[in-house]
Amino acid sequence: MMLHVPDVLSPDQVRAMRTALDATNWIDGRQTVGDQGAQVKRNRQLPEQSQVGRELGAAVLAALARNALFFSAALPLRFVPPLFNRYEGGEHYGVHVDGAVRALPGSAQQLRTDLSCTLFLCEPEDYEGGELEVIDTYGSHEVKLPAGDLILYPASSLHRVHPVTSGTRVCSFFWLQSMVRNDQQRGMLFELDQNIQKLRSRVAECEETVALTGHYHNLLRLWSEV
């Protein structure tokens, strides 16, 4: 399941982040991937140990904690701290798949990457090219969202970032482990939850919404790995 999550960050939050990011130093993005990724990756990133990156990443996670749509779709258990990348002057990232497991910085804990997230920090008209293309069993999907919006998609998908031919593309990207490993089960829970919310807003709480909510939580109890 791919999902567009709008307005994760406000325009003021985006401007503040861009001001901080534009004033810091970037490194070659190939320093943070394995051999396969390094062959097709041409961009720049903030170092994983960057203090600016850590502070901005914490702000991203705080915003997501307040976002009901994101929580309903992702059912997050734990996150890899958000990273930040920058593309310009023809930089790109060829077709690749994200690693299945990542170490959490500063600990011995490992995280299974169920979902990938890209949070856009620039407007689509600020740059040419730079589309995120996600390739799955249903075909190819190109994404280029407004600043402050996020795309959520399975980390198992092949994907790439097209060359940025003019302007600058700046994003935050990160991974999460969901409480529900299976993408189909997670999608069914999301659809059920969204329809419960719509029904509740239309008819208020009633016997049917209580029963459906019970089914939702029993399925989550059955499928979750918490």
pLDDT confidence band for 218 (50 / 70 / 90): very high
Q: Are 121 and 147 in contact (CB under 8 A)?
A: yes
Q: What single string gives the DSSP state of each residue in 67-121?
A: -HHHHHHH-EEEEPPPEEEEEETT-EEEEE---SEEEPTTSS-EEE--EEEEEE-
Measured CA to CA, the distance from residue 157 to residue 147 in angstroms comes to 23
pLDDT on residue 34: 66
What tens digit of pLDDT does each residue of 132-177 get?
999 988 899 999 999 999 999 999 999 999 999 999 999 999 999 9
- Which residue has tokens 């961009």? 43
Query: Please, what is the angle between helix 207-223 and helix 183-203, to 10°?
Result: 160
pLDDT confidence band for 27 (50 / 70 / 90): very high
- Residues at the annotated binding site? 96, 98, 159, 169
Q: Are 67 and 59 in contact (CB under 8 A)?
A: no
29: helix, coil or strand? helix
pLDDT on residue 138: 84
Given a cut of 80, whether residue 178 has pLDDT beyond it is yes
Give the strand pairing for 83-88 and 92-96: unpaired
Measured CA to CA, the distance from residue 18 to residue 6 in angstroms comes to 18
- Residues at the annotated binding site for 2-oxoglutarate? 169
| Mean of the per-residue pLDDT values of the chain | 95
Q: Are 192 and 219 in contact (CB under 8 A)?
A: yes
Among candidate residues 101, 90, 83, the one with its CA nearest the CA of residue 32: 83
What tens digit of pLDDT does each residue of 102-143 get?
999 888 899 999 999 999 999 999 999 999 999 988 899 999
Residue 131: count of CB within 10 angstroms of its CB? 16
The model carries a pTM of 0.95
pLDDT on residue 105: 87
pLDDT on residue 160: 97
Chain centroid to Cα 108, Å, comes to: 23
Measured CA to CA, the distance from residue 113 to residue 115 in angstroms comes to 6
pLDDT on residue 39: 84
pLDDT on residue 6: 98
Query: Would you give the DSSP letter of residue 98?
Result: -
Domains of the chain (ranges plus CATH)?
3-178 (2.60.120.620), 183-223 (4.10.860)
Given a cut of 90, whether residue 210 has pLDDT beyond it is yes
What tens digit of pLDDT does each residue of 44-100 get?
999 999 999 999 999 999 999 999 999 999 999 999 999 999 999 999 999 999 999
Among candidate residues 74, 77, 58, the one with its CA nearest the CA of residue 3: 74
Helical H runs in the chain? 11-22, 35-40, 51-65, 68-74, 183-203, 207-223
CA atoms within 13 A on the CB side of 218: 6
pLDDT on residue 152: 98
- Residues at the annotated binding site for Fe cation? 96, 98, 159
More confident residue, 35 or 14: 14
What tens digit of pLDDT does each residue of 69-82 get?
999 999 999 999 99
Measured CA to CA, the distance from residue 131 to residue 167 in angstroms comes to 13
